[in-house]
C-alpha cells in the first residue's frame, strides 16, 4: 500500500460520520503541525459535477472533473509532486468561495494563487495566455497559437487545453474551433457548453 492509499484508508474508515470528521480533523492538524502536509484537497459540488481541487503552499495546483477519476488524479499528484496528501477542506476555502461566485455569475476572474508545476514548455505558455480571452468570449485554437507565439502550433494548443491541470480557473473552455463549434473538452462537451452559456448569460 502506498502513502496515498494509506491516507485514503484512514480518512474513509468507519461508518460514523462524526468519527470520520473528527479523524480527518486530527490527521489534518497533526500533518500541519509536523509540517508533513504538502498537498491539501477537497471535493466541491458544482453545476458541472463534483470538482476535486488541490493546493500546495504555492497555490492551487489541480482542478479535476469526476470523469478524470479523482483517485487517479490524487495518485498522479503523489507521483509528480508529493505523496504527503490529505483531505483538508479548510485549506481550500478561498478556492471554494471563488468557484461558488463564478458559478453564480458573480465572478469573472479568479484571484487565488496558482501553482503551475504540472504544466511546462509550450503547454505552459499556452495556458498562461488563456486569461487574455475575456469572460464571455471565445477564441479559436489558431488564434491562441498566435497569442502563444507559434501560429502553426494549432494541434499543440489543443493538447495544452486537453491536459490543462486547472480547468475552469484557467479558461481552456473558451477555446473553440475556427468554425465556431466547441471542439473537445477534458470535462466533456456538456460541461464546456454549460460554462460558455453561464458566461454569456452573466
Q: Which residues are catalytic?
A: 172
Give the whole-angstrom CA distance, residue 51 versus residue 64: 5
CB atoms near residue 174 (< 10 Å)? 21
Of residues 143, 125, 124, 123, the one with CA closest to residue 133: 143
Strands (E), 118-167: 139-140
Phi/psi of residue 110, nearest 5 degrees: -100, 140
Per the CB < 8 A criterion, the answer to whether 115 and 59 are in contact is: yes
Burial class (CB in 10 A: 0-12, 13-18, 19+), 181: exposed
Kindly report the CA angle at 14 between 44 and 87, in degrees rounded to 5? Answer: 35
Amino acid at each position: 500500500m502506498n502513502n496515498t492509499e494509506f491516507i485514503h484508508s484512514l480518512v474513509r474508515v468507519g461508518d460514523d460520520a462524526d468519527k470520520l470528521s473528527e479523524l480527518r480533523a486530527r490527521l489534518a492538524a497533526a500533518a500541519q503541525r509536523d509540517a508533513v502536509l504538502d498537498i491539501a484537497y477537497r471535493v466541491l459540488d458544482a453545476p458541472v459535477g463534483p470538482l476535486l481541487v488541490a493546493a500546495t503552499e504555492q497555490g492551487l495546483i489541480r482542478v479535476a472533473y469526476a470523469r478524470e477519476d479523482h483517485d487517479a488524479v490524487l495518485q498522479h499528484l503523489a507521483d509528480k509532486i508529493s505523496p504527503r496528501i490529505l483531505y483538508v477542506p479548510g485549506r481550500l476555502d478561498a478556492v471554494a468561495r471563488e468557484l461558488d461566485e463564478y458559478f453564480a455569475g458573480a465572478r469573472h476572474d479568479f484571484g487565488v494563487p496558482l501553482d503551475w508545476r504540472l504544466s511546462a514548455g509550450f503547454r505552459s505558455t499556452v495556458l498562461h495566455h488563456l486569461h487574455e480571452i475575456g469572460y464571455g468570449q471565445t477564441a479559436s485554437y489558431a488564434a491562441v497559437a498566435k497569442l502563444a507565439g507559434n501560429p502553426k502550433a494549432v494541434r499543440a494548443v489543443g493538447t495544452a487545453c486537453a491536459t490543462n491541470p486547472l480547468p475552469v480557473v484557467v479558461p481552456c473552455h473558451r477555446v473553440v474551433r475556427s468554425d465556431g463549434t466547441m471542439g473537445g473538452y477534458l470535462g466533456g462537451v456538456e460541461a464546456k457548453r454549460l460554462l460558455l452559456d453561464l458566461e454569456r448569460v452573466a
